[in-house]
Amino acid sequence: MSEVQGTVEFSVELHKFHNVDLFQRGYYQIRAGLKIPSRIPHRLFATIAGQTGDSSLCSACIHENNVYSRIFQILYRNEEIVLNESMNFKVHLLLDGERVEDALNEADFQLKLDLHFTDSEQQLRDVPAIPLISSRTLCLHFHPRRGLHHHVPVMFDYFHLSVVSVTVHASLVALHQPLISFARPGKGSWLGKGNPEAGPDQSSMSLENLVFGAGYCKPTSSEGEQRCQQQHSQDPSSESQAFAIGKCPRQQPGDWGMRKKRVPLFIQPLWLVLWKQIFKGQQKPTPLLTAIASVVMTQETA
């Protein structure tokens, strides 16, 4: 299977920020980031169009491939701020050479826009620590032949009612043999080792959780006995399944659910006939068998 390297460029521009009904006056900032599915080996690079290199509160900056807009102050209702922040996201993807178009169509590209706020001028010294108050995610349906060209107003939630106008363009700009190295997602073992998204370490998982699932709780002895009795009443042949779930005392064959009686040898045939008539309901027990059974029971209990 041959692999090719595809390069997709996203151009994002933040035009205007409109205060519809923000509750607080203060300093606001918009942060944009591109999310690529982890199942596709990729490398992401973010740049700012027309960046001169100086980093200040009045200019945009990049932090961990996320673009931070300049910090702007909101004082009045229905106030409009012109941002004109342009940024580029260049994504290098490692694709299957036999299904390049399908892989790009199925790729779930997402543009995440975060709104941050602070009312303290001292906190502006540490820009990455400005609190997040609202977030929106745009799903980008990219087509390798037609590209992507959209202009949309993005509205934040009701408690931070504001709108930012965004223009997004995307295009497949290169398709060639792999020229850079990619970090491939870990396949892991059958226990899920090596996969960072598999959750907690499963090497210490008990056998019960491994067989019956992570949500399995081991029953107590009383619960096990009750569950075992219910399964025996429903299906006598499910004895092995009952012992796999909970512990319960094993019944001996011929007990019929009660303590075994020591019956004399000469009465055992009559005793068995009596029990068959009573439990299987074939016919009403004869008076002779009933009398013999009562005598035997009296001797055994004594």
164-187: per-residue pLDDT in tens? 999 999 999 998 888 877 776 655
Rg (CA), the chain: 37
Position 285 scores a pLDDT of: 59
Segments making up each domain of the chain, as ranges: 3-176, 207-245, 268-297
Distance CA 283, CA 166 (A): 87
Weakest-pLDDT range from 3-7, 53-57, 127-131, 255-259: 255-259
Average pLDDT on 104-128 reads 92
Q: Quote the pLDDT of residue 50.
A: 72
Q: pLDDT band for position 293 (50/70/90)?
A: low
pTM over 0.85: no
Identify the pLDDT of residue 284. Answer: 59
Percent of the chain whose predicted confidence (pLDDT) is above 70: 58
Question: 3-176, superfamily in CATH?
Answer: C2 domain (2.60.40.150)
